[in-house]
Amino acid sequence: INLSPISGLGLYILCIVVGLLQSDAVRVEVKEDNKMCIFADLMVIFTVQYEANQTVRIATIPVPENVSTEGSTCGNQTVAPLLNLNFGSGYSWSINFTSTNTSYKGDVITLKYNLSDATFFPGSKEKGEVTVSTLDTMTDIPLNTAYRCMSVDIIKTEKVNQTFQNVTLQAFVNGTVSKNVTVCKMDVPTTVAPTTNSPTAPPTKPPTPPKPDVKPTKKTYKIKNGNETCLLATMGLQLNFSYNSTKPTWKVLNLNPNVTNANGTCGDGDEATLRLDDHTMVVTFTFAVKNSTRKFYLKEVLVNVRSFDNGSAPFYDGSTNLSYWEASLGSSYMCSKEQKFKVTDRLSFNTFELRVQPFKVEGESYATATAQECSLDDDGFLIPIVVGAALLGLILIVVIAYIIGRRKSYVGYQSL
C-alpha cells in the first residue's frame, strides 16, 4: 500500500477550488497499487479536559498540516477501510468506513492523545496515552460521491470535544475523487433536506470585519427543529482575543449580522447549540440544563477565527466549563447593557442588547413571562442602597448635632 499526502501544488489548487484557506487544514490520500481509495481534506481540533494542580484545565490540540497516514488501509472483503492520521508525540486520529451496495458512511472515530506531553498537557496529574472512541455522525453517502461539510460540527465525549470544519471526505474512491458532492444538513437551510449536487464556484471574498471601536449590531437568530422554532437568541457580539496569554496583545472583532449564518441543534434533550458564522469567525454556544434547579445556563463557548488581517494565523480557543446566562426553563435571559464574559486567559466576548431562550420556545417569540434580567439592568437594587445611605446620613447628622450640643452645655457649666 502506498500512502502519500497530496503534492504541495495540488494542495494549493484544491484549496482554492473548495475555498479552504485554513493554514492548518489536513489533506491526504490513501492509495493501494498507486490507486487512490480514500481522500480527506479537513480541519480538526480537539479540546481535552485534564486535571493539573487540583484544577481542571483544557488542552487545545489542532491536527497539523503535516501528518503521517501510516496504519491506514483501503480495506478488503474482511477488513474495513481505515483512515489513520498520526501526528506529534503519541497522537493519532482515525475513522473506519462501512458500506452497502449503494452507500457508505463513517463508522467509528478513535482519538489517541498523550497526557505525558507537556506541550499540550503541562502539569497533568495523569500520564500516558489515552484512547477515546465514539460513533461518527455522518449520514449515508451514495457511492462514488464525496461528503462535504463547511460548517462547524462538534462530536462530544465525556472529556473530549472533536471539532470539525471545512470537511471534504470520500471513501471507496475508484481512483479519482468524485465531482458529485453530498452536503451536510448544516450547510443547507434548515427546512431543506441534504442534497447531492455538483460543486459550485468558490465563495466570494469574506467581508471586511467592522472596526473594533464600532458597537456591534444586534440581530435575532432562530434555530428550528423541523418546522418549529426551538431556540431564540438576540445580541450584538464582539470578540476579544489574543494569540499569547502570557503577554496578550488584544484583537477585537465584531460579528457581522448581515452575513451571519446561524445553525445549531435544539428541541430534544437537555442541551442546545447555537453556531454563528459570518465567514470571518465561527462562534459556538452550548446551553445545558441544571437538573437540580431546572434552570438553563451557558455551558460552553468555542471560537474559531479565520485568517482576517493581512494573512494572520487562524485562532481557536474555548471553554467547556462555563456558567453564564442562568434562567428558568420556559423563560429567557436578557441584558440590555453591555456585558463582558471571560472564556479563557486569551479569549473573552462582549454582548449588547442580549436575550436568549434555548429551551421551551413557544411559537416564534420569547416567553411572555418575565425574563431573568442581569444585575446591570436591575435598577431596583439601588433603591434600598439609596434609602439606607440616606438614613445613615441622617443618623450621623443627629449624632454630630447631639455631640456638639453636649460640648456647648459642658462649656457653659464650666464658666459658672
Q: Which residues of 271-284 are buried (b: 16+ CB within 10 A; e: fewer)?
A: bbbbbbbbbbbbbb
pLDDT number for residue 188: 67
Q: Give the tens place of pLDDT for each residue, 100-129.
A: 999 999 999 999 999 999 999 999 999 999
pLDDT number for residue 205: 46
pTM: 0.51
**Residue 416 and residue 408: Cα distance in Å, rounded?**
13
Three cell numbers written together for 346 = 486569551
- Whether the Cβ atoms of residue 191 and residue 227 lie closer than 8 Å to each other: yes
3-state SS, residue 255 = coil
Across the range 52-63, mean pLDDT stands at 86
Is the pLDDT at 3 greater than 70, yes or no?
Answer: no
Cα–Cα separations (whole angstroms), residue 246 to 143, 242, 243, 249, 346: 49, 10, 9, 10, 9
pLDDT number for residue 196: 52
- Whether the Cβ atoms of residue 61 and residue 53 lie closer than 8 Å to each other: no
Beta bridge partners of 4: 29
Strands (E), 255-309: 261-265, 271-277, 281-290, 295-305
Q: Which residues of 42-52 are buried (b: 16+ CB within 10 A; e: fewer)?
A: bbbbbbbebee
| Residues in contact with 172: Cβ distance below 8 Å, sequence separation at least 6, in sequence order | 37, 81, 97, 99, 104, 143, 144
Q: Give the tens place of pLDDT for each residue, 133-169.
A: 988 878 899 999 999 888 888 888 888 989 888 899 9
The pLDDT > 90 percentage for the chain reads 40
Q: Give the tens place of pLDDT for each residue, 218-252.
A: 999 999 888 899 999 999 999 999 887 777 788 99
User: Is the model more confident about 310 or about 13?
Assistant: 310
pLDDT number for residue 356: 96
Is the pLDDT at 41 greater than 60, yes or no?
Answer: yes
Burial class from Cβ neighbours inside 10 Å (0-12, 13-18, 19+) for residue 28 reads: buried
